[in-house]
Structure 1
Amino acid sequence: MKKLFLIIGAPGSGKTTDAELIAKKHENITHYSTGDMFRAEVASGSQRGQIIDTFIKAGNIVPIDIAIETILIAIKNAPTNTIIIDGYPRSIEQMSELDKYLKNEKEVELVSCIEVVVSEEVARDRVIGRSRGADDNVEVFNNRMKVYTEPLKNIQEFYEEKNLLKKINGERAIQEIVDDMDSFIQSKI
């Protein structure tokens, strides 16, 4: 049985870095970032990659069928039984589609949705400060933040009702955040 942990958080919340550090620390954990999966697809030059690229450049959500396909392939091909996916779900539709899939899936159990909580101000400072690519400017950041916050309350309520939401303060030293998240994940596997 594969154990799945989702990590959500604003752009710049540190969710990808946190997940990478935890996976590096444990051989039995695989980490996937939806952003990295999408960027790899774009870099491959495939037709799907070109479609994904138009959405990323505008700071918009990648269409549900492409996102779910990418994620499901990653989970099934994961070399370990514990998988952390960061940056998903980003919409009510994504959350619902994943939930539908998991209800019929006997090999994968969603253990928790971990939210890395940071203020918009901290998120903006981090994203604009890192400037990783075309999607890291103020205008695109503002759109990404809006896209993140609009469905957030519904996503939180959905996972709270299932007793799967864990909030972690993302405005501390990276090591504190990682230790906190790692302890939580270890307690669930």
Structure 2
Amino acid sequence: MSKFHVFCIIGKSGSGKGTQVELLKKKLGKTKHIINGDLFRAFIKLDNLLSKKTKKVVNSGGLPPAWLSAYLWQTEFLKPISAGTKAAIFEGTPRRIWEADILDDVSDYLFDQRSVAIYIDISDKEAKQRLLIRLVCKKCKQPVPYKLIKLNPKKCSFCGGGIEKRKDDDEQAILKRLTWFKTDVLPTVEYYKKKGRLVHVNGEQDVPLVFKELWSKLSKRLKS
């Protein structure tokens, strides 16, 4: 893989996007990983009117404005990329067609490449089941792997931090996110499909099998 590539990992909450990104990074080598959720978590720690309002919205299970999301990831993407970096991986972005258009414009301008979307597909039923039992690290906010939840872990396997349940993982907030995914994000998935730049993966398999399918399909694209 000699060219610089731009990948987007798209999927419902609970689809395991973060887990697959970590596996993909090991395969690709040095990458620039841009996580939409992390950008927002850092932003709401700022002491200003917009950050305080956004924090209130996010903590209540609501969705922050699309223009703010686009501003945050564009700002991060345009920061200097260190030598030897093989790819940029966006986790949870783009979420709307116009964001995908912007990402393609920037990628084309900087790297003569258009973004490729990897869609980790799970049903609403599966997403709800996963989210209702989801646990995350209090410190690094990484989700606890679902197979470990049954073991009732007390510490994060990534950083050793304490474990908690996310405040916005209640049934009402989950339903709101799933509805939003259908109305806003699925059209973006279709956008990539029509452009011939979509890798569709069954996310309801065991983690190793999900990645096996992902890498099998993606590596063929990288070789072409």
Please confirm whether the aligned pair reaches a TM-score higher than 0.5, indicating the same fold.
yes
Distance 1:107 1:61, change over 3 A: farther
- The equivalent of 2:130 in structure 1 is 126
Q: Which has the higher helix share?
A: 1
| Aligned-pair CA distance for 1:186 | 4.2
Q: Given the two structures, how large is their TM-score scaled by the length of structure 1?
A: 0.83
Structure 1 position 136 matched with structure 2 position 169? yes
Gaps of 5+ in 1: none
Q: Percent identical across equivalent pairs? A: 24
1:53 counterpart (52, 55, 67): 55
Question: Number of residues paired by the alignment?
Answer: 188
Which residue in the other structure is 2:12 paired with? 10
* Bigger Cα displacement from structure 2, 127-136 vs 8-17: 127-136
Query: C-alpha deviations, 1:94-114, integer Å up to 9, x for none?
Result: 3344345556x2336233111
Higher Cα Rg: structure 1 or 2? 2
Give the structure 1 partner of residue 215 of structure 2.
182
Offset of 1:92 from its aligned partner?
Answer: 3.6
Q: Whole-Å Cα distance in 1 between the matches of residues 216 and 40 of structure 2?
A: 29
Alpha carbons 2:8, 2:118 under 8 Å: kept: yes
Q: 1:142 to 1:164 in 2, by over 3 A?
A: same
What are the equivalent positions in structure 2 for 1:20-59 lying under 5 Å apart? 20-45=22-47, 47-59=49-61
Equivalent residue for 1:63? Answer: 65
1:113 paired residue number: 117
Q: Distance in 1 between matches of 2:56 and 2:112?
A: 31
- TM-score (norm: length of structure 2): 0.72
Structure 2 residue runs without a partner (length 5+): 137-165
**What residue in structure 1 maps to residue 151 of structure 2?**
none
What root-mean-square deviation, in Å, do the aligned CA atoms of Structure 1 and Structure 2 show? Answer: 2.6
